[in-house]
Amino acid sequence: MGLMLVVLLLCGMAVLASSLSGKERAMKYAFRLPAGVVVVVGAMLAAFLLFGCPARSAMTTQGDRFAGAQAQPSWPPAPGKKVGDTVVNPRDGAVLVWVPAGEFTMGSDTGAEDEKPARKVTLSGYWIYRAEVTVAQYRKFCEATGALMPSKPEWGRQDTHPIVNVSWDDAVAYCQWAGVRLPSEAQWEKAARGTDGREYPWGNVWDARRCVCSVSPAKAESTAPVGSVPAGASPYGCLDMAGNVWEWCADWYADTYYETAPARDPKGPAQGAWRVLRGGSWCDYYTDLFRARCRVRFNPDDWNFSRGFRCVSPEGSS
Ligand SMILES: [Ca+2]
């Protein structure tokens, strides 16, 4: 394009030069002079539009480069350094918080049989979504991949609420698109209760005001916008680990797994019939379900209005 304009410019100058030779008749001279001027001016104008706005051209280029940098940030993310560090997943815009490597208390000596015993388990560091995956994020996944939105709950699809009515398989498909994974059961539990063995994300005393639930006197009528109860944050800043929606974990469920799990980075049984869900939901009214150590199983192909998920950074990123 640029070369063509230069040629046009040279042609115009040639026409103008010949028109100025002074050997043609006056009419021809009169015609050629304006024609040459028109070609020269036209070519100059075109050249100016193309090359004459260096600031605009450079801005566009820089803008493109910037957009490219945004579309391809450092992902998977580098390990965090301390509690409170955050990163953003460029694919779905989710904020992830850092859970440092180290030991925590997994399970319980006093809870249900499948939670026993309380053990010291060590995990590598990892990033985990601060909140549950939202309707808006899941819609983005569907639009990008052609996946279908799940059934609409009674309260409708509200962008800031957690997605519900998703199966374990749906959650895994989302994770593949978003470049993340479902948390292992151990990762979910550590993110919810920290290292001091507490019962709830906020401490050891039940408080219905610290989560979206139906435990009296709270009476949630539906899910709530994710992260709407900051007072229920876990030691790492995770929100809604208790309540709002149950959250799928990557692991198969086994009732004896807490007795036999490896002491470092346990990833669940090799096989099973059910997958693990954690944390309780908006429609639950039994306080034990909200304890960070409570384990629930469910058919991975099935779904309902109280179940959603959150994600962790991909393998090898921490
Ligand atoms: Ca939850």
Segment 33-54 shows an average pLDDT of 42
Predicted local distance difference test score (pLDDT) of residue 287: 96
Distance in Å, CA 23 to ligand 1 centroid: 91
Distance CA 52, CA 253 (A): 67
Distance in Å, CA 37 to ligand 1 centroid: 74
Distance CA 9, CA 37 (A): 10
Q: Which long-range contacts (CB under 8 A, 24 or more apart) does 212-215 make?
A: 212/240, 212/243, 212/244, 212/281, 212/282, 213/242, 213/243, 213/280, 213/281, 213/282, 213/284, 213/285, 213/290, 214/282, 214/283, 214/284, 214/285, 215/284, 215/285, 215/286, 215/287, 215/290
Domain 86-308 has CATH 3.20.20.70: no
Predicted local distance difference test score (pLDDT) of residue 315: 75
Q: Which pTM does this prediction carry? A: 0.78
Instruction: Note residues around ion ligand 1 (Cβ under 5 angstroms).
Output: 240, 244, 279
- How many CA atoms lie within 13 Å of 99's alpha carbon, on the beta-carbon side? 31
Distance in Å, CA 175 to ligand 1 centroid: 17
| pLDDT-derived band at 207, boundaries 50, 70, 90 | very high
Distance in Å, CA 217 to ligand 1 centroid: 19
pLDDT tops 90 at residue 270? yes
CB 80 within 8 A of CB 217: no
Distance in Å, CA 278 to ligand 1 centroid: 7
Distance in Å, CA 305 to ligand 1 centroid: 13
Predicted local distance difference test score (pLDDT) of residue 317: 57
Distance in Å, CA 244 to ligand 1 centroid: 5
Distance in Å, CA 3 to ligand 1 centroid: 62
Distance in Å, CA 317 to ligand 1 centroid: 24
Distance in Å, CA 288 to ligand 1 centroid: 14
Distance in Å, CA 56 to ligand 1 centroid: 48
Which strands make up the sheet holding 275-278, listed edge to edge? 296-298, 275-278, 246-252, 307-308
pLDDT tops 80 at residue 67? no
pLDDT digits (tens, 9 = 90+) for 225-248: 999 999 999 999 999 999 999 999
Distance in Å, CA 286 to ligand 1 centroid: 15
Distance CA 14, CA 12 (A): 5
Distance in Å, CA 240 to ligand 1 centroid: 4
pLDDT digits (tens, 9 = 90+) for 14-27: 434 344 343 333 33
Distance in Å, CA 282 to ligand 1 centroid: 9
* Higher local confidence (pLDDT), 187 or 74: 187
- Neighbouring CB atoms inside 10 A of 71's CB total 9
Domain chopping of the chain, boundaries:
2-66, 86-308
* Higher local confidence (pLDDT), 292 or 4: 292
Distance CA 318, CA 231 (A): 28
Distance in Å, CA 265 to ligand 1 centroid: 22
CB 317 within 8 A of CB 79: yes
Segment 202-213 shows an average pLDDT of 97
